[in-house]
């Protein structure tokens, strides 16, 4: 009897081997330069992402050959539709007078212009910078233009919140570049 009381007493202090709780993160839209641009309706398609990015765990490091994944920090939603949603929000912020929506939304609108994106790198590199390497395709009015994009920034700290904020900033820069292309196409009637 004394042994079972001692075991129960010890278990109450040691717990049941609980692990730290998981923290969830999401990319967020960032403000940019707003321009008047009545470009109709723009659909941001769900981006294609490299397979190593398509996971719930946040990548904490990549040395070119080996990925390090956080065991306690994850994305709050699948990364591809999250990138598409945030990019659509960023473009909406930059293109006043234009309707921009993400293909992952429940809307069934006909868009006059489509933005497609293929992302092959969007993570923290061994140099401490976050790199966003992608190919953007803008299609509308029977014409299309492709743009290779390579952006990078350094997070304020290596804390996951700072890394996610820096990734959000890179998506804002991507939106700046795409909005410039969209406005140029609109001005040229393309």
**Tens digit of each residue's pLDDT (9 = 90 or more) over 40-91:** 899 999 999 999 999 999 988 777 788 888 899 999 999 999 999 999 999 9
Q: What is the pLDDT of residue 18?
A: 59
Averaged pLDDT of the chain = 86
Is the per-residue pLDDT at 140 higher than 70?
yes
- Whole-model pTM? 0.84
What was the pLDDT predicted at 98? Answer: 92
Among 87-96, 99-108, 176-185, the range of highest mean pLDDT = 87-96
Q: Which residue segments constitute the domains of the chain, with CATH numbers given?
A: 39-187 (3.40.50.10610)
State yes or no: pLDDT of 137 exceeds 90: yes
DSSP for 49-97, written as a single string: E-GGG-SSEEEEEE-SS-EEEEEEEEESS-HHHHHHHHHHHHHHHHEET
For residue 3, pLDDT beyond 70: no
In the block, which residue shows the tokens 């293929």?
Answer: 118
């Amino acid at each position: 009897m004394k042994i079972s009381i001692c075991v129960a007493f010890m278990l109450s202090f040691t717990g049941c081997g609980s692990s730290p709780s998981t923290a969830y993160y999401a990319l967020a839209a960032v403000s940019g330069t707003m321009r008047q641009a009545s470009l109709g309706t723009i659909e941001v398609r769900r981006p294609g992402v490299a397979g190593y990015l398509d996971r719930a765990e946040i990548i904490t490091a990549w040395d070119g050959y080996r990925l390090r994944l956080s065991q306690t920090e994850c994305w709050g939603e699948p990364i591809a539709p999250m990138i598409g949603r945030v990019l659509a929000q960023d473009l909406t912020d930059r293109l006043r007078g234009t309707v921009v929506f993400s293909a992952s939304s429940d809307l069934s609108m006909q868009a006059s212009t489509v933005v497609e994106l293929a992302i092959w790198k969007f993570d923290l590199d061994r140099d401490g910078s976050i790199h966003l390497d992608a190919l953007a395709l803008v299609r509308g009015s029977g014409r299309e233009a492709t743009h290779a994009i390579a952006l990078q920034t350094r997070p304020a700290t290596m804390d996951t919140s700072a890394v996610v904020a820096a990734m959000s900033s890179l998506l804002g820069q991507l939106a700046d570049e795409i909005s410039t292309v969209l406005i140029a196409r609109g001005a040229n009637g393309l």
